[in-house]
């Protein structure tokens, strides 16, 4: 049976979006006709050793094995065996948004990603938006396959209590979720909060769930009136914060997908997001779309939503329908990936048999 090594060395103690995708779409998924071997690491030194030394060594020891990389880009060694390597691409920011990257990402991840994109032949991607952007950088014969993640109720959210609340929240509680770093554009969220506090509810609150990333974003955010910076929360604490909120607000400059938006919809929250193709792909008709460079206009869109009769019930129903829609799409992607993956492995086995008889 063909062996497939899965690089999970990036999956650590704090499991966020990229880590959950790797676990749910590779570790917990059955691929017929393949023996899967998960490679994990403990700590940064172990991760680098296994990415740069162990995985290439395994490729030499098992010349018929395949290698899948659902998180970090692979060692440059794998550019020498592009037919045996699969890279899952979450976004192209390592190439296109280097000003938003930490020093670690610029020095370690970006060069390896650039080599992989130029040399590899097979890619899985998380959205149509990522597929389109990746196509501009890969070789003409490369195969890009949509493998959008199914979204699960990771936090155990329950929207039922939401229907009992007043249509006029006091105070209005807004929640955002994501690593505190420049790309998330939390400065826009603060400006929108200020407009809402000035025009609609002077006691409105913004709650941010997410670990501290690179940059100095956290200090400025923590001191801002009306803002609570929660840091990384356990699933139970994140559930409590999401269920207490009235609005979910995303102000990211860009995303490859935006999985937290879908996860938040299990709580029945209305989701407000930038008017960009990736968010329309994810949210469909369930989203409220804003211009993050115009906080007054964004605040007006949010307050208009809050003044709509029956907004809680309508938004909860729309969120539920959207999660169902997305998961139907993800299920179709999984079927396609399983079929193509099995065909590729079968072809490799057949080729190996022919080579051994020659």
> 147-156 pLDDT, tens per residue?
999 999 989 9
Among candidates 185, 159, 312, 205, which has minimal Cα distance to 252?
185
Task: Return the HEC string of the chain.
Answer: CCEEEEECCCCCCCCCHHHHHHHHHHHCCCCCCCEEEEECCCCHHHHHHHHHHHHHHHHHHCCCCEEEECCCCCCHHHHHCHHHEEEEECCCHHHHCHHHCCHHHHHHHHHHHHHHHHHCCEEEECCHHHHHHHHCCCCCCCEEEECCCCCCCCCCCCCHHHHHCCCCCCCCEEEEECCECHHHCHHHHHHHHHHHHHHCCCCCEEEEECCECCCCHHHHHHCCCCEEEEECCCHHHHHHHHHHCCEEECCCCCCCCCHHHHHHHHHCCCEEEECCHHHHHHHHHHCEEECCCCHHHHHHHHHHHHCCCCHHHHHHHHHHHHHHHHHHHHHHHHHHHHHHHHHHHHHHHHHHHHHHHC
Instruction: Note the pLDDT of residue 190.
Output: 96
* Model confidence, pTM: 0.85
Q: Which residues contact 219 (CB under 8 A, 6 or more apart)?
A: none
- Mean pLDDT computed over 294-301: 96
- Mean pLDDT computed over 17-40: 85
Q: Is the pLDDT of residue 354 over 50?
A: no
Q: Is the pLDDT of residue 13 over 70?
A: no
- Rounded distance between C-alpha atoms, residue 244 and residue 156, angstroms: 14
Q: Answer yes or no: same fold for 3-147 and 160-322.
A: yes
Read off φ and ψ for residue 230, nearest 5 degrees: -85, -20
- Mean pLDDT computed over 276-299: 96
Instruction: Note the pLDDT of residue 330.
Output: 95
Q: Is the pLDDT of residue 355 over 50?
A: no
pLDDT digits (tens, 9 = 90+) for 173-196: 999 998 898 889 999 999 999 999
- Rounded distance between C-alpha atoms, residue 157 and residue 172, angstroms: 19
pLDDT digits (tens, 9 = 90+) for 37-51: 999 999 899 999 999
Instruction: Note the pLDDT of residue 209.
Output: 94
CA distances from 146 to 20, 68, 330, 345 (A): 17, 15, 9, 19
Instruction: Note the pLDDT of residue 183.
Output: 86
- Mean pLDDT computed over 275-295: 96
Q: Which residues contact 214 (CB under 8 A, 6 or more apart)?
A: 102, 103, 104, 181, 182
Query: Is the CA virtual torsion 92, 93, 98, 102 positive or negative?
Result: negative
The pair of structure tokens assigned to 62 is 């098992």
Instruction: Note the pLDDT of residue 14.
Output: 60
CA distances from 178 to 22, 43, 90, 158 (A): 17, 22, 15, 21
The pair of structure tokens assigned to 69 is 């990389």
What mean pLDDT value characterizes the chain?
90
At the topology level, CATH places domain 3-147 in Rossmann fold (3.40.50)
Domain boundaries, the chain: 3-147, 160-322
Question: If you classify domain 160-322 with CATH, what class do you get?
Answer: alpha beta
Q: Is the pLDDT of residue 1 over 70?
A: no
- Rounded distance between C-alpha atoms, residue 2 and residue 10, angstroms: 24
Instruction: Note the pLDDT of residue 351.
Output: 55
The pair of structure tokens assigned to 56 is 């290439």
């Amino acid at each position: 049976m063909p062996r497939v090594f899965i690089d999970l060395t990036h999956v650590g103690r704090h499991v966020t979006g990229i880590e959950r995708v790797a676990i749910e779409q590779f570790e917990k998924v059955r691929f017929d006709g393949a023996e899967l071997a998960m490679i994990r690491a403990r700590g940064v030194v172990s991760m680098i050793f296994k990415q740069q030394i162990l995985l290439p060594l395994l490729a030499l020891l098992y010349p018929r094995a395949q290698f899948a990389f659902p998180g970090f880009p692979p060692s440059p060694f794998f550019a020498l065996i592009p037919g045996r390597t699969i890279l899952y691409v979450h976004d192209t920011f390592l190439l296109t948004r280097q000003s938003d990257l930490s020093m670690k990402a610029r020095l370690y991840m970006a060069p390896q990603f650039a080599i992989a994109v130029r040399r590899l032949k097979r890619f899985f991607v998380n959205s149509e938006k990522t597929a389109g952007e990746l196509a501009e950088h890969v070789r003409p014969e490369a195969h890009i396959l949509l493998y959008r993640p199914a979204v699960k109720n990771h936090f155990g959210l329950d929207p039922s209590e939401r229907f009992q609340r007043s249509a006029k929240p006091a105070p209005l509680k807004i929640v955002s979720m994501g690593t505190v770093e420049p790309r998330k554009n939390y400065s826009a969220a603060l400006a929108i909060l200020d407009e809402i506090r000035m025009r609609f509810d002077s006691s409105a609150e913004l709650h941010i769930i997410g670990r501290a990333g690179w940059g100095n974003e956290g200090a400025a955010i923590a001191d801002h009136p009306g803002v609570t910076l929660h840091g990384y929360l356990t699933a139970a604490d994140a559930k409590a914060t999401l269920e207490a909120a009235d609005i979910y607000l995303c102000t990211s400059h860009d995303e490859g997908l935006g999985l937290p938006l879908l996860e938040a919809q299990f709580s029945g929250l209305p989701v407000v997001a930038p008017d960009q193709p990736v968010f329309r792909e994810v949210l469909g008709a369930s989203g409220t779309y804003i211009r993050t460079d115009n906080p007054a206009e964004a605040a007006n869109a949010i307050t208009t939503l809050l003044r709509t009769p029956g907004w809680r019930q309508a938004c909860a129903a729309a969120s539920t329908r959207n999660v169902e829609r997305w998961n139907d799409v993800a299920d179709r992607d999984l079927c396609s990936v399983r079929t193509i993956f099995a065909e590729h492995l079968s072809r490799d086995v057949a080729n190996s048999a022919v080579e051994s008889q020659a």
